[in-house]
Structure 1
Amino acid sequence: MNKIAVVTGGNRGLGKDMVLALAKEGKDVIFTYNSKESEAGDVVKEVENLGRRSAAIQLSVDRQEGFDAFFNELSRVLNEKFNGAKIDYWVNNAGIGLPTVLGATDESSFDTLMNIHMKSPYFLVQNALKVMNDGGAIVNIGTGLTRFSMAGYSVYGSLKAAMETMTRYWALELGKRQIRVNAVAPGAIETDFGGGMVRDNDEINKTIAAATALGRVGLPDDIGSVVAFLCSDSAKWVNGQRIEVSGGIHL
């Protein structure tokens, strides 16, 4: 039976590349999207063109009130499209970047970042474990900003640091089920994250490239293959780790 991965925020950017990389490695993929249903449908078609099954489910990770409805829909999809199978891999990818300068940060922005990057991943996984096979894997998407700092991202970076710590705790607690848990920490990537500043601002792009050993900024397909590796038997002895995928920025 084919193994099934779930990726949150899989309709664009890094998430889309994770979905496609997993499909290319032979996984069926269910992914979530926030609002762009048509865009999500296009990704489903791309996965199916690779010979794999796929489905997209709406999920807003900025609040937890919709989680029961999401998991009810996930169960329905698993029963109707995947023959009642359970999932094997879960990727916490969905996220946003908001500037949070100390002295000018409102509580609403703080709470939004907290919900998306800490509280929601925790409770999504807690619920997902009920429909997850033993022997699978969880991948949390972190950031290079837990190792180096950039002004204006103190809340985002700190929450991702908490996610990395949580990764180790989950790896310990889920070891009895042979579920591995790792974190992937991307460097700066050319996507629409943070308003697309890395992709669209030539000055920022060149500055980051100059600070990176491999001489360029990252692309979405630099990340998806690493996530697919961690969701495979090739990574069977990799557990509780933070893997930075940044091309060697700020070495």
Structure 2
Amino acid sequence: MKVAIITGGSSGIGQGAAIEVAKRGVGVILTYSSNRQGALDTVAAIEEEGGTAVALPLDVGRSAGFPAFREAVAGALRDTWRRDTFDHLVNNAGFAQMSMFQDTTEELFDALSRVLLKGPYFLTQTLLPLMEDGGAIVNTSSNSALSSGMTEGFSAYATMKGGLNVLTRYMAKEFSGRGIRVNAVSPGSTRTRLGDDAFERFPEVIPELAAKTALGRVGEPEDIGMVIASLLSEEGRWITAQNIEVSGGYNL
């Protein structure tokens, strides 16, 4: 059985991706930071469908903890799947915070950088020795880093996602010798807990966002999860170094 590591699998896109990947017969190691119950819910949903999943704690913004996480991954692979390697990695964990350019503090800028850019960079570096040749990586970016999704107040967040898009191409180039494909997905407005549950707190923005979307609604986590699962699978075997916008035609 193939195994995928999906960071930030306790809710939102990470949860959607974990469930969709597991539906394709892939074992899942998902991570959580503060939302342990959400991670256990994801594991339960996967097991109900006959899949196999393990939840491990990880703070993507603290690279000092990555070596210990790699050991935890090795233990889970050995105990659950009788393997010492994994096949796929989804760098998805993150957070968003709106802040106008003139109000953005160095503290917020650094926090976004640690979680959204430095985290995926060094976590991938740490896990790469355990990864099988011929595997696949998907980085969760954002259409806020594309001209179609630019919104005032996200200059710092989108800057990190723009860096992740460049990193995706460099990973694809450097890992190609091992047959490892690397792509990014750029969701548009998606119903997740991002931004301190913004959709729950401000439901009035949903019709406005839906009106700007060609397909007439905001995205759901499974909309993005299906694309991530497809890119990891054999269906995506000839796709690498791409950034796919998954937004239902936002600002089309």
Give TM-score scaled by structure 2 length: 0.96
Match of 1:47 in 2: 46
Q: Determine the C-alpha separation between the residues in 1 that align with 2:191 and 2:95.
A: 14
Question: Which residue does 1:163 correspond to in 2?
Answer: 164
1:93 is matched with 92
2:115 is aligned with 1:116: yes
SS of match in other structure, 1:135:
strand
**AA partner of residue 106 (structure 1):** T
Give the drift of 1:85: 3.5
Partners of 1:35 and 1:198 lie apart in 2 by 19
Q: Give distance in 2, aligned partners of 1:222 and 1:80.
A: 32
How many residue pairs end up in the alignment? Answer: 250
5 Å-filtered alignment, 1:124-139, equals 124-139=123-138
Structure 1 distance, partners of 2:9, 2:40, is 11
Match of 2:152?
151
Q: Distance in 1 between matches of 2:193 and 2:126?
A: 29
Structure 2 counterpart of 1:76: 75
| Contact 1:11–1:32, Cα closer than 8 Å, also in 2 | yes
1:34 aligns with 2:54: no
Give per-residue Cα distances to partners, 1:33-71, cap 9 Å, x unaligned.
Answer: 002223322221221222222101100112212111111
Contact 2:10 2:37 in 1 (8 A): no
More displaced stretch, 75-84 vs 21-30 = 75-84
Residue 183 of structure 2 aligns with an amino acid whose one-letter code is N
Distance 2:79 2:204 in 1: 49
Return structure 1 stretches of 4+ with deviation > 4 angstroms.
none
Tell me if the contact between 1:199 and 1:205 (Cα under 8 Å) persists in the aligned partners. Answer: no
Aligned-pair identity (%): 41
What amino acid is the match of 2:234? Answer: D
Q: Deviations over 1:132-189 (max 9, x none)?
A: 0000100000101111311111011111011011111111111110000000000001
State the shift of 1:199 in Å. 4.8
| Partner AA of 1:73 in structure 2 | A
| Whole-Å separation in 2 of the counterparts to 1:130 and 1:60 | 20
1:142–1:183 Cα contact (<8 Å) kept: yes
Counting only pairs closer than 5 Å after superposition, residues 189-208 of structure 1 correspond to structure 2 as 189-208=190-209
Separation (CA, whole Å) in 2 of partners of 1:45 and 1:249: 33
Distance 1:43 1:207 in 2: 30
**Does residue 237 in structure 1 map to residue 234 in structure 2?**
no
The whole-number CA distance in structure 2 between the counterparts of 1:71 and 1:131 is 8
Which residue does the alignment assign to 1:57? 56
Looking at structure 2, the residues matched to 230 and 249 of structure 1 have their Cα atoms a distance apart, in angstroms, of 21
Does the Cα contact within 8 Å between 1:11 and 1:33 map onto a contact in 2?
A: yes
| Contact 2:85 2:132 (8 Å CA) reproduced | yes
* Aligned partner of residue 59 in structure 2, secondary structure: coil
**SS of the residue 1:164 aligns to:** helix
Shift in Å at residue 200 of structure 1? Answer: 4.4
Q: How far apart are residue 27 of structure 1 and its match?
A: 0.5
CA contact (8 A) 2:10 2:42 kept: yes
Residue by residue over 1:207-249, the C-alpha shift from the partner in whole angstroms, topping out at 9 and shown as x without a partner, is 1111111111111111100000001011100110010000001
Runs of at least 5 residues in structure 2 that lack an aligned partner in the other structure: none
Cα drift, residue 191 of structure 1? 1.4
Task: Note the C-alpha offset of 1:100.
Answer: 2.6
Task: Say whether 1:179 aligns with 2:174.
Answer: no
TM-score, with length taken from structure 1: 0.96
Partner SS state of residue 20, structure 1: helix
